Chain A
């Protein structure tokens, strides 16, 4: 298998995993939030952990969504100047931008990882007894993936593989 098709498969696999996670978490969120309202207003009582879980799901959906946005470089940007740039100057500028973005994501991933280690040490708990760092893992994973994705965009700009030329 050539390097190109390997990269392509890895990319497809990553997308698939993200899509599944997004769908499962959003479905959980909708059902749980809906169930809570039913319970509160009709059945009575409520689950203490549900509110906390819903809030954690917001964080996870946010980061998973951000990962999904990074795979096609769909993050909010201004690109006022890039639009007016002559065509031949575009690739170097884009390389610089991808490099910058992946460096920022990499830094965020590194310090998020440090944060997770800290929380492991302090044994912070959520959801009445679960280790908080399990849920905080999405921060280093999310930013790590985004860093890789922007390195991927960078590589594609510098050296597009045969399989990627449409």
Chain B
């Protein structure tokens, strides 16, 4: 049965159906009435933090449709555009920022890529380098608050059973330095590639001023959201509510870049993504409770414990496993399916749940650009009209750099746990 499901999954059956089928098969074989499925699904209405998912996703889509990406880009260019490779670094930072707020759904490449790609081209960036840079940047902000995968990891880890306390505000702190490390490595590479090239322009007071004035409405947003969460003033779902209200007010009623008639369309587009994620989360709540009932995590635990010696070996195997996983599964499905299984094992090797979350997401981020099915490769291929093979070629130097970052993040827990 499981083999059949795997084959169906690889041929492209919707993942929620695969997960639901395997849970139902499991419950059915152990003689449990299948009304357990809707009961588990109903738990979606029992987790207050889930409110953050529709609210942040909608805000992200709204921002993406507005002129905010252009303003963000102009602002960072005014400050950072002057040194060789400055524009590339601007691209990295703008994308990371945008992804953190929009949740790594590929929307970054669509919203920002359209502005960045021609700008980089005009500045004389070689085509392949340009493509690789933008494709890689599309998932760069995953580790920064308030990214959706980070929130989802926190939710799943709390639901995984046992007395695991993963606080979202701590998780947000844990992701910060590893995320910056990735930015620094990639930024360093860009500057190195552009050494000796002409400067990108000067930093002028006039441009700084005018770009600041232009972004005056969006500027408070990161401070309110991040400041509110990190200071503990807002719960994550509250921060999401503030963001949604504020973005709606600014982009639709104050700046009027999005007409009232467009809003329902954007709502529907964003809720299609939310529905997909929540449905997968719901059915995997069911499959996880079946797995725990059948003591699968405990068996996996014993198996790994008797075969893998030492923390470092475990971490290395974990990295390899997660890289492969990221190459075939999208980040949300991977999170809800795999975290409940590996969390208890990782704990027994003395790995902090916060550190595990950061390792998990960092690996998954590479998955976005790993052939054959990395999501960003296909979005970029579609967006820039280039064959996927060209994108494979253009992303590999960035792939190696991110791999280096992942290894550092994995073997230097301090980066994730410095505040403890």
Q: Which residues of A come within 8 Å of B, CB atoms? A: 18-20, 22-23, 26-27, 29-31, 33-34, 36-37, 51, 54-56, 58-59, 61-69, 73-83, 85, 93, 96-97, 100-101, 104-105, 107-108, 111-112, 114-116, 118, 135-136, 139
Do the beta carbons of B45 and A58 come within 8 Å of each other?
A: yes
Is B330 located at the chain interface by the 8 A CB criterion? yes
Expressed in whole angstroms, the minimum distance between the Cβ of A4 and any Cβ of chain B is 25
- Best-surrounded residue of A64, A67, A111, A135 (most CB of chain B within 10 A): A111
Q: Which of A19, A33, A96, A115 contacts B38 (CB 8 A)?
A: A115
Q: Which residues of A contact B50 (CB under 8 A)?
A: 55, 58
Expressed in whole angstroms, the minimum distance between the Cβ of A19 and any Cβ of chain B is 5
Inter-chain CA distance A29–B415, complex, in Å, is 37
Q: Which of B37, B47, B242, B275 contacts A63 (CB 8 A)?
A: B275
Is B46 located at the chain interface by the 8 A CB criterion? yes
Closest chain B residue to A111, Cβ basis: B34
Do the beta carbons of B242 and A34 come within 8 Å of each other?
A: yes
Closest chain A residue to B373, Cβ basis: A80
Number of A-B pairs whose CB atoms are under 8 Å? 198
Do the beta carbons of A61 and B275 come within 8 Å of each other?
A: yes
Do the beta carbons of A74 and B276 come within 8 Å of each other?
A: yes
| Residue tally, chain B, CB below 8 Å to A | 61
Expressed in whole angstroms, the minimum distance between the Cβ of B159 and any Cβ of chain A is 15
Q: Which residues of B contact A82 (CB under 8 A)?
A: 11-12
Is B203 located at the chain interface by the 8 A CB criterion? no
Do the beta carbons of B15 and A75 come within 8 Å of each other?
A: yes
Do the beta carbons of A30 and B278 come within 8 Å of each other?
A: no
Q: Which of A69, A81, A83 contacts B275 (CB 8 A)?
A: A69
Expressed in whole angstroms, the minimum distance between the Cβ of B19 and any Cβ of chain A is 10
Do the beta carbons of B11 and A58 come within 8 Å of each other?
A: no
Q: Which residues of B contact A108 (CB under 8 A)?
A: 20, 24, 37-38, 41
Q: Which residues of A contact B24 (CB under 8 A)?
A: 104, 107-108
Q: Which of B39, B241, B275 contacts A65 (CB 8 A)?
A: B275
Q: A33-B237, A58-B44 are in contact. List 15 more A-B contacts (CB 8 A).
A: A33-B55, A34-B244, A55-B46, A55-B51, A58-B45, A58-B54, A61-B274, A63-B275, A69-B272, A69-B276, A78-B12, A85-B11, A115-B42, A136-B38, A139-B42
Sample 23 A-B pairs with CB under 8 A, ordered by A number: A19-B268, A29-B54, A30-B244, A37-B234, A55-B47, A63-B275, A64-B275, A65-B275, A65-B279, A69-B276, A75-B16, A76-B330, A77-B15, A79-B10, A79-B11, A81-B10, A82-B11, A83-B372, A96-B8, A100-B21, A101-B17, A105-B17, A108-B24
- Best-surrounded residue of A33, A54, A67 (most CB of chain B within 10 A): A33
Do the beta carbons of A68 and B272 come within 8 Å of each other?
A: yes
Is B271 located at the chain interface by the 8 A CB criterion? yes
